[in-house]
Amino acid sequence: MRSTITPLIMAGSLILAPLHVLSEGAMRILECSIEKQCDSSATCTPDSGDLAFNMEPIKLDDTGAGNYLISYAHTNSEMKAMSSAGPFIWNTGGEIHTLLANSETKFLWHRLSLSAKPQASMQFLNCAFTQ
């Protein structure tokens, strides 16, 4: 008797497969819909909208960790990946961004402003790699 867990594990391994198997320069696109927005005091409200993160590998090691060029909306920045599945970290104009995979399709996008009084916000995303 075959377990139903096996296909789920296989699907997850394909989605979060090591990015180092891609040739450097091969674009990965993470298409997301926004589900919830939370502020630094943990007050959350439903949210909506679509967002696509384009991730172009610059230099990766055998584990998929390394540097990428990330672009989304009107933002372009160099990004660091700690492994093929993240976390992904980048800095834009005084904000540190972290993108964490919670499961095959659920991601958390944390932003921390580096102002005199730091503020954080989080968005819960439902995502899929489309390329």
pLDDT tens digits, residue range 78-125?
999 998 888 999 999 889 999 999 999 999 999 999 888 889 999 999
Q: Tokens standing for 17?
A: 């497969």
The pLDDT, as a whole number, for residue 3 is 52
Longest Cα–Cα distance of the chain, Å, equals 60
pLDDT grade for 12, boundaries at 50, 70 and 90: very low
In total, how many domains does the chain have? 1
Query: Scanning the structure block, which residue is given the tokens 């995979």?
Result: 101
Nearest to 70 by CA among 32, 39, 126: 32
Domain around 92: 5-129
The pLDDT, as a whole number, for residue 52 is 97
Contact 19, 29 (CB under 8 A): no
88-91 contacts, C-beta under 8 A, 24 or more apart: 88/55
Q: Give the number of C-alpha atoms closer than 13 A to the C-alpha of residue 115, restricted to the C-beta side.
A: 6
